[in-house]
Chains A and B, each alone.
Chain A
Amino acid sequence: MADKKVVMITGASGGLGKGLALACAEQGWSVWVAARRESEGNKVAAQIEHSGGAARFVHCDAGDPHSVDTAVATILAAESRLDGLVHNATSGLSPRPGRVSELSLNDFRDHVTVSLRGSYLLARAAFEPLQSSQGALVLLSSEAGFEGKARLPAYAAVKAAQRGFARSLAREWGNCGIRVNCLAPLASTEAMEDAFRRDPEMEQRVMARHPMQRLGDSVKDIGPAVCFLLSQNSRYITGHTLMVDGGSCPVT
């Protein structure tokens, strides 16, 4: 695995993160499946290995400082490099609908901890190895972070906060050779299906404004865009949010 470029992907034990892991492996990256769920994470790594790719699981709770530091240290101990970091993990409460006044502070804390604190902790832990490799940090945001969501305000808030964090960090890290970008996907995932179940009218709302009339595939539609932001093909792009949503979001 030493000759391959190394990427760590959080929340990669399922859903969109799994798709990103598969896509990165297909493009030749050595993938570290970073997640809390060891069994599912190992399955993703095994699937990649079975297909001829390179992947390993590393335990990572994105909102826990010690866990993040340990995960990055584990990867460095094994690979001696880290070229890319993708923060995809989100709160398990993300699909749960409710107006601002209906959500508790403890619910909001969960959103903040995984998405926003995770962005900070991962950035801090990966700064030196990414500087050494002249690598890239990619944060998974959402169209919700542009336009807000009436029924998912906490999710929208942390996704927007990640965009602001990335934009500032891009300015800070630019002269260190590290690029920082966001990607705002619209993909068919377990979380999206869960959101549709909880809010049956949501699917109709999503499709009614979607030019392409379909949700993205995490491997074929979203994965290549993440690989692009990780690669030298995007070497002059930083501080950007790339919409990969089939033209769904009317705000750019």
Chain B
Amino acid sequence: MSKVKTLLIGSNTEPVATLGAELKANRHTIPSLAGIENDSWPWADALQQWRETVAGGEQADRIVVMIWPDHGHKTPCSDTDFLAWSRRAEAPLAQWFAALGCAQQLCSDGGSVVALVERPAPLDSTGRAPEVAVAEGVVALVRSLAKSEGARGARFNAVTTPLRLSPEKLVNPAPALASYPGQLLREVIGSVRMMLGDDSCGVTGSVVHADCGRSW
């Protein structure tokens, strides 16, 4: 079976396209999900079907998963209506689950998968409870996959960035690096490349916060 060098599974948004082009990656685009009108996931079957189709494709040595939907404005939890909650928390988490399931099946033995996750730093997370929940859930999925796929030499790691979720006004103290929150094609892509490549061959189930020292 022929293998592509790098595969990117992600949203149909501009940052994903930018990273994919820079990595010269083949792309699988996950379907956008409409909001939830009731307490079910009307898009679950379609997402399941997408997952099964994509998972049957060519394997790859290096895979980046990047579910970066368009986020809503930050809001206090008590003011977040159910539809907004669903759009900001449940739909992205379901997309991550589907995409990481594809990555699990598409990653060749000895390959490497990096989940590039948007995550507000703890200090700046007020009003971003849905996004923080998704980020932490993704990290646990990555660690679960690191455990289940380690026996065949496949590695799973996460890189986080607050790039699009950083508030205009930061809580003191200031971030360690003045370059905060960083740039996708500088600080963030470097961490992704490192975790994808052979230099991190002994690293799996780890999280790199590419956030200029805002998390610890």
Asked if A and B are interacting partners, one says yes
Interface status of B192 (Cβ within 8 A of chain A): no
For A168, give its contact among B104, B133, B148, B205 (CB under 8 Å).
B133
A159, B144: Cα distance in complex, Å: 12
> Could you tell me the dominant secondary structure of chain A's interface residues?
helix
A163, B104: Cα distance in complex, Å: 25
Interface status of A39 (Cβ within 8 A of chain B): no
Q: Which one of A100, A104, A149 has the greatest number of beta carbons of chain B within 10 Å? A: A100
Closest A residue to B137 using CB positions = A161
Interface status of A86 (Cβ within 8 A of chain B): no
B141 close to A157 (CB less than 8 A): yes
B94 close to A108 (CB less than 8 A): yes
Interface status of A144 (Cβ within 8 A of chain B): yes
Q: Which one of A63, A146, A147, A168 has the greatest number of beta carbons of chain B within 10 Å? A: A168
Interface status of B122 (Cβ within 8 A of chain A): yes
A150 close to B148 (CB less than 8 A): yes
For A100, give its contact among B122, B129, B144 (CB under 8 Å).
B144
For A145, give its contact among B76, B130, B140 (CB under 8 Å).
B140
Which B residues are CB-close (under 8 A) to A173? 77
A58, B127: Cα distance in complex, Å: 30
Which B residues are CB-close (under 8 A) to A100? 97, 100-101, 104, 141, 144-145, 148
- A101 in contact with B85 given A160-B140, A169-B77 (CB within 8 Å): no
Which residues from 44 to 82 on chain B have a C-beta closer than 8 Å to any C-beta of chain A? 44-45, 47-48, 51, 55, 76-78, 80, 82
Cβ proximity bits A55-83 to B, threshold 8 Å, 1 near / 0 not? 00000000111000000000000000000
Which A residues are CB-close (under 8 A) to B45? 105-106
B44 close to A162 (CB less than 8 A): no
Cβ proximity bits A156-197 to B, threshold 8 Å, 1 near / 0 not? 111111111101110111000000000000000000000000
A144, B41: Cα distance in complex, Å: 25
Interface pick from A8-16, A23-31, A88-96, A111-119:
A111-119
Which B residues are CB-close (under 8 A) to A157? 93, 97, 137-138, 140-141, 144
B80 close to A120 (CB less than 8 A): yes
Which A residues are CB-close (under 8 A) to B132? 164-165, 167-168
Chain A nearest CB, measured from B4 CB (Å) = 19
Closest B residue to A131 using CB positions = B78
Interface status of B142 (Cβ within 8 A of chain A): yes
A145 close to B146 (CB less than 8 A): no
> Could you tell me the dominant secondary structure of chain B's interface residues?
helix
Cβ proximity bits B25-45 to A, threshold 8 Å, 1 near / 0 not? 000000000000001110011
Interface size on A, residues (CB 8 A): 49
B93 close to A105 (CB less than 8 A): no
Chain B nearest CB, measured from A6 CB (Å) = 20
For A116, give its contact among B76, B133, B146 (CB under 8 Å).
B133
Interface status of A229 (Cβ within 8 A of chain B): no
A123, B129: Cα distance in complex, Å: 11
- A148 in contact with B141 given A104-B48, A127-B77, A164-B136 (CB within 8 Å): yes
A120, B205: Cα distance in complex, Å: 28
Interface status of B147 (Cβ within 8 A of chain A): yes
Interface status of B89 (Cβ within 8 A of chain A): yes
B104 close to A105 (CB less than 8 A): no
Which B residues are CB-close (under 8 A) to A101? 55, 101-102, 104-105
Interface status of A198 (Cβ within 8 A of chain B): no
Which B residues are CB-close (under 8 A) to A105? 41, 44-45, 47-48, 51, 94, 97-98
A161 close to B136 (CB less than 8 A): yes
Which A residues are CB-close (under 8 A) to B82? 65, 121
Chain A nearest CB, measured from B86 CB (Å) = 8
B133 close to A164 (CB less than 8 A): yes
Interface status of B18 (Cβ within 8 A of chain A): no
Question: Which residues of A are at the interface with B, using a C-beta cutoff of 8 A?
Answer: 63-65, 99-101, 103-106, 108-109, 112-113, 116-117, 120-121, 123-124, 127-128, 144-154, 156-165, 167-169, 171-173
7 chain-A/chain-B pairs, Cβ below 8 angstroms: A100-B101, A101-B55, A104-B48, A109-B41, A150-B148, A152-B144, A161-B133
Question: Which residues of B are at the interface with A, using a C-beta cutoff of 8 A?
Answer: 39-41, 44-45, 47-48, 51, 55, 76-78, 80, 82, 85, 89-90, 93-94, 97-98, 100-102, 104-105, 120, 122, 125-130, 132-148, 205
